[in-house]
Amino acid sequence: MIIRPRIYLASQSPRRRELLKQIGINFEVLLLRTDPRRDMDVDETPYGIEPPEDYVQRVCKAKAEAGYAALKLRNLPPFPVLAADTAVVLDGKIFGKPGNAEQAAAMLRQLSGCEHQVLSAVAIALGEHVEAALSTSTVRFAPFDEERIHRYLLTREYTDKAGGYGIQGHAGAFVEHLSGSYSGVMGLPLFETVQLLRHFDYPVP
């Protein structure tokens, strides 16, 4: 029996699954938190003076390495493990995922009428070999008022989204200008992903 080349995706993000399907990548989702033999959770707390670019790549590599460790523990076929991490950055401050609607509203108030950066890192681990790549995009939001923020929060799209918004949903209407990678702002920069997969000899379109 011929085994098709595939990768493992160390993420539960539906956006990342959609993007991999879009470019025809054969993948299987690898859940990190379900193995009782080892704590596979990755600490995403930024270091004190860590630059945002270093932070997002460090976390991304840690996720890929944790995924490959989980793969070995479960005796799964040794295919590459892909992980990604995204951070919204405004004036050097990292905006992670809001824990509730109030935190999301606070983030959106700061982003209103401003230009911010979206840093999306992708990493692949196979054996001892780990590589990462970074995509940086600049997004400018139009100004919006409290009523519009309230209506957006009712959609609950802010859940599990860096900066409290998802560009592929209702928040796409906030975007006045985007320079960079649309897929990177969604959470998985496709150009950088394909380049990394080629480094690991994975057949890509």
Whether 85 is catalytic = yes
Domain ranges of the chain: 7-199
Active-site residue (options: 85, 91, 145, 160)? 85
Owner of token pair 């399907």: 21
Query: Burial code of 148-172, b = ≥16 C-beta within 10 A, e = fewer?
Result: bbeebbeeebbeebbbbbbbbeebe
How do residues 43-82 score in pLDDT, each as one tens digit?
677 777 889 999 999 999 999 999 999 988 988 888 999 9
Strands 115-126 and 7-9: unpaired
Crossing angle between the packed helical segments 146-155 and 101-111, to the nearest 10 degrees: 130
How do residues 9-46 score in pLDDT, each as one tens digit?
998 889 999 999 999 999 999 876 544 444 456 767 77
Fold of 7-199: Maf protein (3.90.950)
* pTM recorded for the entire structure: 0.89
How do residues 104-146 score in pLDDT, each as one tens digit?
999 999 999 999 999 999 999 998 899 999 999 999 999 999 9
